[in-house]
Amino acid sequence: MLNTVTEKALILIADDDEMIRQLIAAMLSAEGYRIIFAADGDQALEIVRSNLVDLVLLDVMMPGKTGFEVCQAIKSQPETRFIPVVLVTGLSRADERIQGIACGADDFLSKPVNCQELLARTRSLLRLKAFTDELENAETVFFSLALSIEAKDPYTKGHCDRLANYSVALAHRLGLPQEQGVALRRAGIVHDIGKIAVPEHILIKRGPLTPDEWAIMKQHPGIGERICSPLKSFRFVPQIIRHHHEKMDGSGYPDGLKGDQIPLAARILQVADVYDALTTDRPYRAALPQELAIATMREEARRGWWDSSLVEEMVAMVTGSRKLVEETEMSLSF
């Protein structure tokens, strides 16, 4: 499978010197790679944004945007940051290489380009890209599975997405590190993935659950944690999933953690979860108006369920509606 991906890989060669473009293309075409050209930095960025490029070979000194700037732009966008970038340069000074590394370059090639070196690096980086693509596919499967569970209950439609957005915006507002924002986005989508193991008649039951049914339902955080643990890119996600039903006074499940023992990211997810649940229609009640939802959350925080400082942050966030839109937009970079 990797061979197939590698043989058909699309490689962008960006260089203002046509002779160099043709020379590199000749070396790569002989190996069966598909080639696309850019004559300057802006064109290179445009191509990367509108094509499924697998590898970028970037000249450093180009008219308009330099190779450093193009590399930085590629690496700063979530959609393109995993595309390997090689800086092709006549520069040999250490500080310029350091600048390349700071811009996120994956590798360097010196001019004049040595054919064997070019092919060896190309093969190695494309192999890495193929693994990254497979990982992305695995994540997509997880997200699809989680959304298919959500779809079983028409009342929770869109809940995971909103929950992820609220959680990320709250994490951003609190100034948490980006990796926590990324974990919260993923956890927001997959937090109930463990419900795959809960029989459907329990999952969609409208009346109160029996003690036996509750015992089964309470297993879903632990099952979700186990499902997501093998995925390395889901670092921090399993512990958020495990603890999303804990309560500040220790009356939650599965571990009965109290206060700060509950990971901060899990407490953030809870507050976002409660707000979304209260402000959307449920089978047993219509969506509450915002003021009533806020009063309910505050009362539940007083009762010892939720982190009251996070509830107040959430309230401040959702009542400054313009601010929320701005924060959600900013949080898209997570």
Q: Which residue is nearest to Fe ion (CB)?
A: 192
Kindly state the smallest distance separating residue 1's Cβ from Fe ion, in Å: 35
In this structure, what are the phi and psi dihedrals at residue 278, rounded to the nearest 5 degrees?
A: -70, -30
Give residue 177's region: left, alpha or beta (phi > 0; psi -120 to 50).
Answer: beta
Kindly state the smallest distance separating residue 196's Cβ from Fe ion, in Å: 12
Provide the β-strand partners of residue 12: 36, 56
Q: How far apart are CA 109 and CA 91, in angstroms?
A: 10
Nearer Cβ to Fe ion (111/162): 162
Residues 165-194 that bind Fe ion (CB under 5 A): 192
Nearer Cβ to Fe ion (70/241): 241
Write the DSSP symbol of residue 84: -
Give the total of residues touching Fe ion (CB under 5 A): 1
Residues 269-308 that bind Fe ion (CB under 5 A): none
Nearer Cβ to Fe ion (300/312): 300
Kindly state the smallest distance separating residue 163's Cβ from Fe ion, in Å: 10
Kindly state the smallest distance separating residue 220's Cβ from Fe ion, in Å: 6
Q: How far apart are CA 150 and CA 192, in angstroms?
A: 8
Q: How far apart are CA 179 and CA 170, in angstroms?
A: 14
Nearer Cβ to Fe ion (54/192): 192
Provide the β-strand partners of residue 108: 87
Nearer Cβ to Fe ion (41/224): 224
Contact call for residues 63 and 86 (beta carbons, < 8 A): no
Nearer Cβ to Fe ion (192/246): 192
Per-residue CA distances from 227 to 132, 160, 167, 215, 282 (Å): 20, 17, 21, 19, 28
Q: How far apart are CA 313 and CA 173, in angstroms?
A: 8
> 107 is written with which tokens?
């590798």
Contact call for residues 233 and 240 (beta carbons, < 8 A): no
Contact call for residues 63 and 40 (beta carbons, < 8 A): yes
Residues 189-228 that bind Fe ion (CB under 5 A): 192
Nearer Cβ to Fe ion (181/194): 194
Kindly state the smallest distance separating residue 221's Cβ from Fe ion, in Å: 6
- Annotate 153-181 with DSSP letters as a single string: SGGGTTHHHHHHHHHHHHHHHTT--HHHH
Kindly state the smallest distance separating residue 241's Cβ from Fe ion, in Å: 8
Kindly state the smallest distance separating residue 138's Cβ from Fe ion, in Å: 22
Nearer Cβ to Fe ion (160/301): 160
Residue listed under structure tokens 């350091």: 98
Q: How far apart are CA 154 and CA 168, in angstroms?
A: 24
Kindly state the smallest distance separating residue 216's Cβ from Fe ion, in Å: 13
Write the DSSP symbol of residue 30: T
Nearer Cβ to Fe ion (15/192): 192
Residue listed under structure tokens 């670092």: 235
Kindly state the smallest distance separating residue 197's Cβ from Fe ion, in Å: 12
In the complex, the residues that contact Fe ion under the rule CB under 5 A are: 192
